[in-house]
Chains A and B, each alone.
Chain A
């Protein structure tokens, strides 16, 4: 090892704490990059492999009842490669040892045990063979402790049957399984059940017919054309509109996760890299200033400009190396934790957990490049320093009397205060950058806090204000409103209100959107439409009330006409007027008055669901009664939904908040500690002189602490601005058909963020203050400038 390299290693060892502070910030960037890219790659690859091997369909369509004889016609549609018909239906399950009603989706299983598409992977047992046998999803079996041979009861289209489990399976269709109306997967209360074709057809009265079709198309086919032809073909048989993978629930969730990972990889790591580059630049330029004489010496000894420049770049590279090392370790752990998380949400037969080597290489390279880039200016400064000049002490920085000085004299400030203010004004760029760094820390906390505020708001609006019912009772067919009295008589039901759901396509010229149209009675109290400010809104009779995002997508405003094609009921198309708009965060809502819709359909009052308030104490009786009710297709327990959602969210949010707060503390320590250390090294003589002149330790420290804290204070408004801006960007980027994130920024979020950063700044600068207290005055004064 050459002597210059030894100097490098020892310089680094001397600076290890400063280096570490930067390396940890850098490590966060590397770790997140690693996790996001690694998991993105893993999910994408696994999904692609799974879909390919198990022939996941590309186009899906539900229909009311189409004859199997239609199949040749469908296969003749240009571009259709394979098509597989299926019968499916909802079922109420009565599971042993569980009081609450569970729900299941029954799918038909081909007699030859060889499905063409969406091929399940058998995990245990065998395929169903007999009329009362089912194969169930592995997650459902595991959550309920079922093994092959176990028996449970189910209400299939009004018939109560005892079903025997023959085996468990996974399916590419159900990587993410979520029941109707649920917000989170609930493996205990919802499962997929495969049953022999003959048994399902008999139970749902579908002999010789199908109500679901899955298709694969050839590579050159245009999916939209195929879907259009399919819709035309199935129109007469109650086709509910063909859709592609993007609307297939399981795939949509996996895609959303992949996109989110991609977004995270693009947005978050660059912020960390930028901050570490800035810190490295700050530290290296200070080291170059301190090493001035040594640089002159090296040049006098015959080292070239390039060698000197490289020497300082290598110092930066060592920080990058340390940061990359920590980042890789952290990222590997994080990626594994993330993979475990995925394992609980997503049901893959295998998941490629391995983070590809290129991701490690890429993240390391990114860290190295940004750090070197940060150090370049300082290293070039060292290279350009002329040896004869370098060996002389630097000229004292120029201070000129300006406006500020006259103001300060007028205010008769203390000398130490003037020192603080002058230093900030004398190096405005450095001050600004330090403030920007601390501001970035504040903004990180705000960005996280905003998510919490936004989610709380969404939950409150959606669950507590909009949906106030304890449960929703779903029917297999629309029932006349007169059945309400029967439901009201069920044990424990305190209040009941009807509601209609219609699947419809809204059209305005070339723009169209498939929506679930909700209709309620004017005086509904259990389920209401709620505006962004929490105010209940009644759909004005004679037209549609649309959520603003939906209206925007369709380019509609109040008073415009919109074509509504109903897939349900009489499957009619009507021209309707937009009578109102409402700002909403969840879903793309479309609402109508129930009486108005019934008039349009020329029928007496009907309902597709009943919303009920329930006496908690009598819930078991209600469940027991519902399991015996034939016309029921399901029951959504809103309270349970709310509880599990809130639990998951608050858990996630507290994890996220902690992470962001930790990140903010890291950034703050990185900026404030390094800043104060640099201050100290620049001003050691000055501060020692003050001590010799008789200033107390506290007074001398106040110069250092004062400058950092003043900058930290000035950084706060900057941080609020950044934070609000990031929050706005996040809120915009998260907006999808599923939801919009409201920009909720309450003062306490700002206050909390500032408090964290100010405390961390103070703690960092106090660490440096200890060095002032221990300063050997004589030695400091003796050292040559």
Chain B
């Protein structure tokens, strides 16, 4: 039997900016499966990030419902959402969002300090191939390395889902591929359900499923019968 990690029902999100109403999500019905690596593909402004933020408990929907397994996120208050993020979700952002005053290891410790059953910070960094850069500060790391620290930070708590918003958006092709390799390894080895947002069509080839976004709606879903390894992807 297929297990869902996320399920959404008629999800809508409207932003009110200076009197203009922007419909970021205009009714999204979606299921994401346990253990899959899904890519959300779409132009910028199509609503991908909004969906990811709501799934991750960073934002509230205007209407509609969202479940994480049996937990209905749309019913949770801020405190419960904080708890939810702390226990279940790992985030990776386009601009790494590392704390500049903390070293690679300490950035990961930010998570392991508050997580329930974290892995060792060094272990997490080893998984992303940064065993030799533990005590470097963000400013001393390349963009790809910084993003890998961000991934190590996201997985160190052994989250059930890993939500990545344009993880390669700020990287060149070569370092981008290294980051994708790491994401695939984690998905394969830890079985973490992974959602990757991108507007880079090349990346879709490595996913189990690709969900196409346009104008705040799902424009189509495509299942990859054969997946391509990240090192074969180029852009």
Contacts and interface: CB of A to CB of B under 8 A. Distances in A.
Interface residues of A, number: 25
Contacts of A293: 95, 97
Contacts of B86: 301-303
A352 interface: no
B93 interface: yes
B97 A294 contact: yes
Contacts of A4: 110, 113
Given A2-B109, A3-B113, A386-B59, A304 B97 contact: no
B85 A7 contact: no
A297 B102 contact: no
Interface string B67-96: 000000000001100110111010101010
Contact of A7 (B58, B89, B93, B101): B101
Contacts of A388: 53, 58-59
Interface string A461-480: 00000000000000000000
B41 interface: no
Nearest to A293: B97
Interface residues of B, number: 29
Contacts of B59: 386-388
Nearest to B105: A3
A299 B53 CA distance: 12
Interface in B43-63: 53, 56, 58-59
A391 B86 CA distance: 17
A6 interface: yes
A302 B85 contact: yes
A304 B82 contact: yes
A11 interface: yes
B107 interface: yes
A7 B98 CA distance: 11
B113 A14 contact: no
B58 A304 contact: no
A14 B153 CA distance: 24
A298 interface: yes
Contact of B56 (A6, A14, A300): A300
B91 A3 contact: no
B82 A302 contact: yes
Contact of B82 (A294, A305, A784): A305
Given A7-B99, A10-B101, A10-B102, A301 B53 contact: no
B10 to A, nearest CB: 20
A784 B89 CA distance: 25
A7 B109 CA distance: 11
Contact of B101 (A14, A302, A304, A784): A14
A11 B101 CA distance: 7
Interface string B123-135: 0000000000000
Nearest to B163: A300
Which of A7, A300, A387, A784 has the most chain B CB within a 10 Å cutoff? A300
Interface string A271-296: 00000000000000000000001101
Most buried by A among B78, B87, B101: B101
Nearest to B94: A784
A302 B78 CA distance: 11
Across the A-B interface, the 5 shortest Cβ-Cβ residue pairs:
A302-B86, A10-B101, A388-B59, A3-B109, A388-B58
A151 B161 CA distance: 101
Contacts of A299: 58, 82, 85
A300 B102 contact: no
Nearest to B84: A302
A300 B89 CA distance: 9
A274 B82 CA distance: 35
Contacts of A294: 97, 99
Contacts, number: 74
Interface of A: 2-4, 6-7, 10-11, 14, 293-294, 296-305, 386-388, 391, 784
B151 interface: no
Contact of A301 (B78, B85, B95): B85
B113 A391 contact: no
A386 B83 CA distance: 15
Given A4-B110, A14-B101, A302-B89, 9 more contacts: A3-B107, A7-B99, A11-B101, A293-B97, A297-B99, A299-B85, A302-B87, A303-B114, A391-B97
7 contacts: A6-B106, A297-B93, A299-B58, A301-B85, A301-B91, A302-B82, A386-B59
B111 interface: yes
Contacts of B97: 293-294, 296-297, 391
Nearest to B91: A300
Contacts of A305: 78, 82
Nearest to A307: B114
A395 B59 CA distance: 18
A13 to B, nearest CB: 8
Contacts of B106: 3, 6-7
Nearest to A398: B18
A3 B102 contact: yes
Nearest to A8: B101
B154 to A, nearest CB: 9
Interface string B14-54: 00000000000000000000000000000000000000010
B19 to A, nearest CB: 13
B84 to A, nearest CB: 8
A396 to B, nearest CB: 12
A166 B18 CA distance: 94
B176 to A, nearest CB: 18
A387 B56 CA distance: 10
A122 B202 CA distance: 101
Contacts of B115: 302
B56 A301 contact: no
B52 to A, nearest CB: 10
B234 to A, nearest CB: 25
Contact of B58 (A11, A300, A303): A300
Contacts of B109: 2-3
A144 to B, nearest CB: 67
A301 B93 contact: no
B56 A784 contact: no
Contact of B83 (A296, A297, A298, A302): A302
Nearest to A389: B59
Nearest to A387: B58
A301 B156 CA distance: 11
A391 B110 contact: no
A100 B224 CA distance: 114
B79 A304 contact: yes
Contacts of A297: 93, 97, 99
Contacts of B89: 302
Contacts of B107: 3
A302 B102 contact: no
Contacts of B99: 7, 294, 297
Contacts of B53: 388
A689 to B, nearest CB: 20
B101 A303 contact: no
Contacts of A296: 58, 97
B103 to A, nearest CB: 9
A293 B111 CA distance: 16
